[in-house]
Amino acid sequence: MKEIYNDKNEITIPFHKSLKENIRSIETIFQDCDDVVKKEFQLNRAEQTIPAYMVYLDGLTNNDMLQDNVITPLQRYRFTEKEDVFQAFFHSEIDMVDLKEETSFSNAVNSVMKGDTILLIDGYDKAIVIASKKLPVRSIQESETEAVMRGPRDSFNESLRVCTALIRRRIKDPKCKIVQDTFGERSKTDYALVYMEDLVPEGLVDRVKDQLAAYETDAIYDSGMLEHFMNKKWYSPFPIIQSTERPDKAASSVLEGRVAIIVDNSPEVLLLPATFNTFFQASDDYYTQWSVATFARILRYIASILAIGLPGFYIAITSFHLEMLPTEMLLAIAEARSNITFPVVLEVLLMELEFELLREAGIRLPGPMGNTIGIVGGLIVGQAAVEAGLVSTIVVIIVALAALASFTIPNESFASAYRLLKFFLIAVSAIWGLYGFVLGMLVLAIHLSGLTSYGVPYMVPAVSTAEGRYESKKDFIMRLPIYLMKKRPVFTKAGQRTRMRRQ
In this prediction the pTM is 0.88
Q: Does residue 419 surpass a pLDDT of 80?
A: yes
Specify the pLDDT at position 483.
85
* More confident position, 197 or 358: 197
* More confident position, 244 or 374: 244
Among the ranges 136-150, 218-232, 423-437, which has the highest mean pLDDT value? 423-437
Q: Does residue 503 surpass a pLDDT of 80?
A: no
Could you report the per-residue pLDDT of 116-135, keeping only the tens digit for each? 999 898 888 889 898 888 88
Helix ranges (DSSP H) in 290-343: 290-320, 327-336
Confidence of residue 59 (pLDDT cuts 50, 70, 90): confident
Is residue 378 a contact partner of residue 400, using CB atoms and an 8 Å limit? yes
For 218-354, strand residue ranges (E) read: 242-244, 259-263, 269-272
Specify the pLDDT at position 208.
94
Q: Does residue 2 surpass a pLDDT of 60?
A: no
Percentage with pLDDT > 90 across the chain: 35
Specify the pLDDT at position 205.
94
Q: Does residue 358 surpass a pLDDT of 70?
A: yes
Interior/surface letters 33-60, b for 16+ CB within 10 angstroms, e for the rest: eeebbeeeeebebeeeebebbbbbbeeb
Pairing relationship of beta strands 36-45 and 78-79 according to DSSP bridges: parallel
Mean pLDDT over 281-305 rounds to: 91
- 273 preceded by a cis bond (ω within 30 of 0): yes
Confidence of residue 1 (pLDDT cuts 50, 70, 90): very low
How far, in Å, CA of 458 to CA of 385, rounded?
Answer: 41
Could you report the per-residue pLDDT of 457-491, keeping only the tens digit for each? 898 888 765 555 556 778 888 888 888 888 888 88
> Under 8 Å CB-to-CB from 325, ≥6 apart: which residues?
317, 318, 333
How far, in Å, CA of 247 to CA of 462, rounded?
Answer: 28
Average pLDDT of the chain to the nearest whole number = 86
Specify the pLDDT at position 372.
61
CB atoms under 10 Å from CB of 420, counted, come to: 12
Percentage with pLDDT > 70 across the chain: 91
Could you report the per-residue pLDDT of 162-184, keeping only the tens digit for each? 999 999 999 999 999 999 999 98
Mean pLDDT over 353-373 rounds to: 74
Domain ranges of the chain: 19-130, 160-274, 290-456
* More confident position, 191 or 77: 191
CB atoms under 10 Å from CB of 199, counted, come to: 20
Which among 303, 228, 277, 341 has a CA at the least distance from the CA of 479?
A: 277
How far, in Å, CA of 491 to CA of 494, rounded?
Answer: 9
Which among 115, 71, 127, 126 has a CA at the least distance from the CA of 96?
A: 71
> Under 8 Å CB-to-CB from 257, ≥6 apart: which residues?
195, 196, 199, 200, 201, 488, 489, 491, 492, 493, 496
Is residue 100 a contact partner of residue 129, using CB atoms and an 8 Å limit? yes
CB atoms under 10 Å from CB of 226, counted, come to: 24
Specify the pLDDT at position 163.
94
Could you report the per-residue pLDDT of 10-19, keeping only the tens digit for each? 788 888 889 8
Specify the pLDDT at position 239.
93
How far, in Å, CA of 200 to CA of 205, rounded?
Answer: 8
- For 179, 240, 257, 278, the CA distances from 272, given in Å and listed in that order, are 16, 8, 9, 10
Among the ranges 25-34, 304-313, 319-328, which has the highest mean pLDDT value? 304-313
Q: Does residue 351 surpass a pLDDT of 90?
A: no
Specify the pLDDT at position 133.
86
